[in-house]
């Protein structure tokens, strides 16, 4: 195959159709990769995608994690849930929040123009940046927002080290 055969016809002044499958060795690979990405993306249910392109409640709720000298605080938005719908577990330095948002009724006979609300189970696991005292963990739920306070152990508390001048 000559280099000229790879150029578009309008550049060469010729009006012939290129035989990409035979002449160009990467054509089959390119088609295979395109098909693979199309299959990958089509496997996601758009009902569980939120408006910004991220995942809705059905997969993992969004969380804020902050740390002070004495504790780690995690805040998670769980709209439409009650405290009985949420499980909080702590194991091996990982906080796991699980729950399920249930659909209260079926919408038979309705024609939806857009459906953004999602239902289903979710789970969010967060690796903690420090060792915490498991006996003093406090979790509260108010108006669809979960607050978890995790006090650090004595060993994990930051201690200031005094710097001395060398002799």
Q: Give me the pLDDT at residue 86, please.
A: 92
Tens digit of pLDDT for each residue in 134-165? 899 999 999 999 999 999 988 877 677 889 99
Report d(CA 19, CA 22) in Å as an integer: 6
Tens digit of pLDDT for each residue in 50-90? 444 444 444 578 899 999 889 999 999 998 888 998 999 99
- Whether 124 and 60 have beta carbons less than 8 Å apart is answered as yes
Strands 138-142, 145-151: pairing is antiparallel
- Whether 98 and 122 have beta carbons less than 8 Å apart is answered as yes
Instruction: Check whether 92 has a pLDDT greater than 70.
Output: yes
Report d(CA 31, CA 122) in Å as an integer: 36
Helix (H, G, I), strand (E, B) or coil at 114: coil
- Domains, the chain: 3-42 (no CATH), 63-103+117-156 (2.60.40.790)
| Averaged pLDDT score across all residues of the chain | 76
Residue 75 contacts by C-beta under 8 Å, 6 or more apart in sequence?
63, 64, 66, 145, 146, 147, 148
- Whether 122 and 99 have beta carbons less than 8 Å apart is answered as yes
Q: What is the pTM of this model?
A: 0.55
Q: Which residue has the higher pLDDT, 123 or 12?
A: 123
């Amino acid at each position: 195959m000559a280099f000229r055969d790879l150029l578009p016809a309008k550049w060469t002044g010729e009006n012939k159709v290129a035989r990409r499958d035979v002449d160009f060795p990467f054509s089959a690979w390119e088609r295979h990769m395109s098909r693979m990405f199309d299959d990958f993306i089509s496997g996601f249910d758009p009902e569980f995608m939120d408006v910004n392109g991220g995942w809705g409640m059905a997969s993992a709720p969004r969380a804020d994690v902050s740390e002070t000298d004495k504790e780690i605080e995690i805040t998670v938005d769980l709209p439409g849930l009650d405290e009985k719908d949420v499980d909080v577990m702590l194991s091996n330095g990982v906080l796991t929040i699980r729950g399920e948002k249930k659909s209260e009724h079926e919408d038979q006979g309705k024609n939806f123009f857009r459906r953004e609300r999602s239902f289903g189970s979710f789970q969010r696991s967060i690796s903690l940046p420090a060792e915490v005292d498991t006996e003093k963990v406090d979790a509260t739920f108010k108006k669809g927002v979960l607050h978890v306070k995790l006090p650090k152990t004595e060993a994990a508390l930051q201690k200031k080290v005094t710097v001395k001048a060398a002799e």
